[in-house]
Structure 1
Amino acid sequence: KGELYVIDPKAIDKEGLYGVLDGTTMDWTDGVFTSLLRRILANQKGEAEKRHWIVFDGDVDPEWAENLNSVLDDNKLLTLPSGERLSIPDNLKILLEVDSLEQATPATVSRCGMIWFSEETITVKMCLTHMMLSLGSDDLVGNSLGGSESPSAQKGFLDAIQSLVIYDNERSTSLVEDAIEFALDQIHIMPPTRDRLLRTLKALLVKGIVQAIDYDENHPDFPMSGDHLNRFAKKWLLHSLLWSFCGSASWNIRKKFGDFLLRTSGMILPNEVSNLADYRVRVDNGEYELWSESVPKIEIESHKVTSTDIVITTTDTIRHSDVLGAWLSSRLPLILCGPPGSGKTMTLTSVLQSMQGIVLASLNFSSRTTPEIIMKTFSQYCSYVRRGKDIVLEPSESLGAQSWLVIFCDEINLPENDSYGTQRVIMFMRQLVEQGGFWRDDNIWIKINRIQFVGACNPPTDAGREVMSQRFLRHAPLLLVDFPARDSLMQIYSTFNGGMMKLFPNLKGETEALTEAMVEVYSDIQSKFTPEIQPQYFYSPRELSRWVRGMYESVVHMDQGLTREELVRIWAHEALRLFCDRMIEETERNWCEEKINQVARRHFAGVDHDKALERPLFYSTWLSKENKRVSREELRGFLCA
């Protein structure tokens, strides 16, 4: 019989691995490795009769690996700073499992036997075969089958897609094999790996199978027929391939990949002008339906305009919520990546809050974040429970029976690398996800239960960001959340402007023109002035949100009403403050002012534009409690006083 002990040496510090000598009392405290070694040597529970394997599963660097030199050579001795020497028994073997030896010294490399395990050792077809077998045998709906047969919908779904996933002819490749080769050649927000793409695909296929099983349970008299299930399964496979293989790529690549899937599979969309990403698959008839048909019309009250927690439902948010829901249900860690202001955090938190049995703990990572921040979160939300021989950490009963703790790590790629290129907190999270536990300070292995990690971050190319380890990313589905398209911006900000215009019923008809004018100014300035010209020329939808809030704060206390000229003047004032004030060159400011004038004249008809856009254009709360129009002389007089 053998015993296996897995240690990630980068998830704990050097003292936690080997031990520490108290400089005052000269007392020695064992670390994880020394305590395991001492336990094997003590032979209190028949350890001498077993074979033991200690696996160092993590990045190799000289700081911890050099201390093993005397252990790995013929001496087989571990010398502690206290002067004590521990010999390595013959029934103990030490393995180092690494993805790179870039930081290893020749002294370490020369002492180890070496086996190179290539990615080609396990082929794509082997991975797909394993995935299909596990999908067929897993209890996907939690009914504890106990050896009984899987639901017929589960078997029928897999039979329908079998030939598209694994092709029987050895000389040919299947749709999924071609798709993964196509996807790996594309540009993604973070480099894709085969393992991550297939894990992500499996999570989405599980959701499709569960939908089919639920449909049969809810329609016992009329379960899915063979043709119905066949249509649904094949369309769902294409949907799953699109979002699992190119969810981390741009919309252009998603469209190209969707066209490739349709062309290769022979499927036809209801509207040839659209692309695959525009459709979802209906379980009740196995046909395509436009995502846009599921978007509800929303109205908000005027006092909600300045709220920061309102999510306006758009085609993008429905699509993202559906995909995120599938990944969250699979209990995988997941990451949203995208530019600042694209709505990553808002989308993720709204999906989490809509799910039952979830307790959300939010953490903001910084460049100095260490694993201790996660341990503090555990101590706040979780408790230790003994189950047989194991000690398990799980959410406290006070949070609800069987509830899941979801730890949301915002700015997950901000923690800086150590001297040897490792993010310790990310390695600690990898250990929790991959090994299902961690080594506590008293050198006891603690299993975790019902704990899930989700994250959001800016692209790794942004300043101050680090490239995250593929050893963690391979477990985490990744979704690129880009800036909303024009249609989504119109939908979001016409809702906010409509709420603001409820204060002035006589101006309700201006909502559409107001929104179109805002989106046009924003889009034109965003495309002309980029961060490559000046770092501050970065424009996101947050500008539009500030624009709406600035206008609302200017008009909310106007009891005497608001004229159309005054509305246009306030609109232009906020635009000048948001866009023109950050311009450096005089020519740039002139272009910006002229653009605002042009857009105002085009969209606001029946207004005295010369009066509305007369310069100088200032509003201030300095001279009164309300935000009122002021002249340059009045402001100068106030400042001089």
Structure 2
Amino acid sequence: GVGKTVLAISCMKRLSEGKVIPVILNFSAQTSSVRTQEMIEGPLEKRKRTQLGAPVGKTVIIFVDDVNMPKLDTYGSQAAIELLRQFLDFQGFYDREKLFWKEILDVVLGCACAPPGGGRNPLTPRFVRHFALFSLPKPNEETLTQIFNGILLGFLGSFSGAIRALSEPMVTACVDVYMRVANVMLPTPDRSHYIFNLRDLSKCIQGILQATNLHYNMESQILRLFYHETTRVFHDRLINQDDKDLFKSLMKDVCKLHFKRVVVQDDEPAILFGDFMIFGKPKNERIYDEIKDHSKLESVLNDYIVDYNSMAVGKQMKLILFQDAMEHTVRLARLLRSDRGNGLLVGIAG
């Protein structure tokens, strides 16, 4: 969560404009040496019977992300990493079918990993010795505020002066919420998904960037958008009422501290935003706005169900939209409209 992958990929993209062919591999606990060898050999060309290499005049750079993720075998080694070590030691590996040695030419290896723990394993020194090591420390609050304030202030340049003035307070509030949640809500065996990192903070800012200067012209609008996006990123991950109450109290304190006001009242219904309330409106004309009328929300969602059933072939979808179902639907719609929006639905069997 400190930007290792983003930095590596951005560098490789710049290098790819020259004589470099970038190849990105992602390791997991189940990555095998067989699969690793197949992925390495994939972009290479056969030069001789016993030689593989990058296309003539080119260099292949293989970037392995999460290189220390493969699980340990019975003897405490990681087969995929041992294959990479063999390649670095001897510039090649064996053909798995005919058992002859294959030399690998014009291939450079780069890797990224996080410290051991949480499914990651220590790397053998025999492998690490081949690399120049760079440590990317976790940025502090001041650095985070500077980075995200630059992004948000640039985005709000066309908004009203009152909203532009809220750029730094909103970023500071986002960082404050992230730091408090990460320090208080720690993962446990029954809450193993309570893992918060910089991606969550960036998602908060990304959510605020969905505002449009033609529609958002009041401070209260942008602050409620901030509250909603922060709630979606952090609150939706919480699994019990105690944690949810703690988060609401935390948000209330943060808003009073950074905005000198209460953004959302205690007795308000769930704050929801969406861009689908005008049925049939083209996607590029939709406005991401607060959904204040929950009865209208139910009517609109029922219209979508009717529209779907009118086009569905075979079994129709018959849903009863109670309050929780509507809120979850709005949350999922937000994920689907977001860039790189991904969702993990955690449910209890029953």
Could you state the TM-score of these two structures normalised by the residue count of structure 2?
A: 0.72
Partner of 1:346: 6
Q: How far apart are 1:525 and its partner, in Å?
A: 1.9
Q: Deviations over 1:394-431 (max 9, x none)?
A: 2112xxx2x32111112212223334333222111111
Matched with 1:508 is 164
State which of 170, 184, 207 in structure 2 corresponds to 1:528: 184
Query: Aligned partner of 1:348: which letter?
Result: A
Aligned residue for 2:47, secondary structure, equals strand
**Take 1:383 and 1:549, find their aligned partners in 2: how far apart are those partners?**
41
Instruction: Check the 8 A contact 2:53/2:105 in 1, yes or no.
Output: yes
* Among candidates 244, 255, 265, match of residue 589 of structure 1: 244
* Counterparts in 2 of 1:592 and 1:480: CA distance versus 1, 3 Å: same
Whether 1:395 aligns to 2:54 is: yes
Give the structure 1 partner of residue 332 of structure 2.
none
Deviations 1:505-560 (A, max 9, x none): 4322222222112111211222222224832322111111111222222x23x634
Amino acid at match of 2:201: L
Please state whether the residue corresponding to 1:452 is helix, strand or coil.
Answer: strand
Measured in 1, the distance between the counterparts of 2:235 and 2:111 equals 35
* CA shift digits 1:193-247 (9 cap, x unpaired): xxxxxxxxxxxxxxxxxxxxxxxxxxxxxxxxxxxxxxxxxxxxxxxxxxxxxxx
Describe the shift of the 1:636–1:353 C-alpha distance in structure 2 as closer, same or farther (beyond 3 A). closer
Closer, same or farther: CA 443–619 of 1 in aligned 2, 3 Å:
closer
**Which of residues 418, 430, 442 in structure 1 aligns to 2:98?**
442
In structure 2, what is the Cα distance between the partners aligned to 1:579 and 1:379?
42
Aligned-partner SS, 1:613 = coil
* Deviation readout 1:242-276 (Å, 9 max, x if unpaired): xxxxxxxxxxxxxxxxxxxxxxxxxxxxxxxxxxx
Match of 2:222 among 553, 564, 567: 567
Tell me which residue corresponds to 2:109.
453
Q: TM-score, normalised by structure 1?
A: 0.41
Question: Structure 1 CA distance, aligned partners of 2:62 and 2:287?
Answer: 43
2:160 is equivalent to residue 498 of structure 1: no
Partner of 1:383: 45
Equivalent positions of 1:236-275 (< 5 A) are: none
TM-superposed deviation, 1:462: 0.9
Shift of 1:618: 2.2
Contact 1:365 1:415 in 2 (8 A): yes
Say if 1:480 and 1:631 are closer, same or farther in 2 by CA, change over 3 A. Answer: farther
CA–CA distance in structure 1, aligned partners of residues 40 and 132 of structure 2: 24
Cα displacement (A) at 1:362 = 0.6
Cross-structure match for 2:35? 373
Which amino acid is the alignment partner of residue 46 of structure 2? Y
Counterpart contact for 1:483–1:540, Cα < 8 Å: no
Shift of 1:471: 2.6
Q: Per-residue deviation at 1:379?
A: 4.0
Contact persistence 2:216–2:222 (CA under 8 A): no
SS at match of 1:460: coil
Find the counterpart in structure 2 of residue 408 from structure 1.
63
Give the aligned partner of residue 53 of structure 1: none
Question: Following the alignment from structure 1 to structure 2, what is the Cα–Cα distance between the partners of residues 452 and 536?
Answer: 35
Equivalence for 1:489: 144
Cα–Cα, structure 1 residues 404 and 626, in superposed 2: closer, same or farther, change >3 Å? same
Query: Using the alignment, how far apart are the partners of 1:585 and 1:368 within structure 2?
Result: 32
1:39-54 alignment runs, 5 A limit? none
The total of aligned residue pairs comes to: 287
Q: What are the equivalent positions in structure 2 for 1:59-208 lying under 5 Å apart?
A: none
Contact 1:483 1:541 in 2 (8 A): no
Question: How big is the shift at 1:434?
Answer: 0.6
Contact 2:171 2:205 survives alignment (8 Å): no
Q: Secondary structure at the match of 2:134?
A: strand
Change (3 A) 1:420 1:505: same
The one-letter code matched in structure 2 to 1:396 is P
Distance 1:424 1:584, change over 3 A: closer
Instruction: Give the drift of 1:378.
Output: 4.4
1:628 is displaced (CA, Å) by 2.8
Partner of 2:273: 619
Q: Deviations over 1:429-488 (max 9, x none)?
A: 11111112222243332322221211223332113x333333322323443434321122
Q: Is the 2:59–2:108 contact (alpha carbons within 8 Å) kept by the matching residues of 1?
A: yes
For 1:560 and 1:585, the matched residues in 2 are separated by: 36
Contact 2:71 2:78 (C-alpha < 8 Å) held by counterparts: yes
Counterpart secondary structure, 1:359? strand
Q: Partners of 2:220 and 2:40 in 1: how far apart?
A: 57
Structure 2 gaps, min length 5: 279-285, 302-320, 327-350
Q: In the alignment, residue 29 of structure 2 is paired with which amino acid?
A: S
8 A contact 1:394–1:450 mirrored in 2: yes
CA RMSD of aligned residues (A): 2.7
- What is the rounded CA distance, in whole Å, between the counterparts of 2:237 and 2:103 in structure 1? 52
> Given that residues 45 and 52 in structure 2 are in contact (C-alpha distance below 8 angstroms), is that contact kept between their aligned partners in structure 1?
yes
User: What displacement does 1:603 show?
Assistant: 2.3
Taking a change above 3 Å as real, the CA distance of residues 346 and 385 of structure 1, as seen in their structure-2 partners, is same
Q: 1:472 to 1:582 in 2, by over 3 A?
A: same
What is the DSSP-based 3-state SS (H/G/I as helix, E as strand, rest coil) of the residue aligned with 1:427? helix
Q: 1:550 aligns with which of 193, 207, 222?
A: 207
Q: What is the rounded CA distance, in whole Å, between the counterparts of 1:442 and 1:589 in structure 2?
A: 60
Query: 1:426 aligned to 2:77?
Result: no
Larger radius of gyration: 1
Show CA shifts across 1:10-57 (max 9, x none): xxxxxxxxxxxxxxxxxxxxxxxxxxxxxxxxxxxxxxxxxxxxxxxx
Q: Which amino acid aligns with 2:91?
A: G
Give 3-state SS (helix, strand or coil) of 2:31's partner. Answer: coil
- Which amino acid counterpart does residue 346 of structure 1 have in structure 2? V
What is the Cα deviation at residue 587 of structure 1? 3.7
Q: Following TM superposition, by how much is the alpha carbon of 1:354 offset from its aligned partner in structure 2, in angstroms? A: 4.1
CA separation of 1:537 and 1:378: change in aligned 2, threshold 3 A: closer
Alignment of 1:538 with 2:189, yes or no, is no
Q: Is the 8 A contact 1:618 1:632 kept in 2?
A: no
Quote the offset at 1:489 in angstroms: 0.7
Q: Which amino acid aligns with 1:461?
A: G
CA distance in 2, matches of 1:362, 1:592: 38
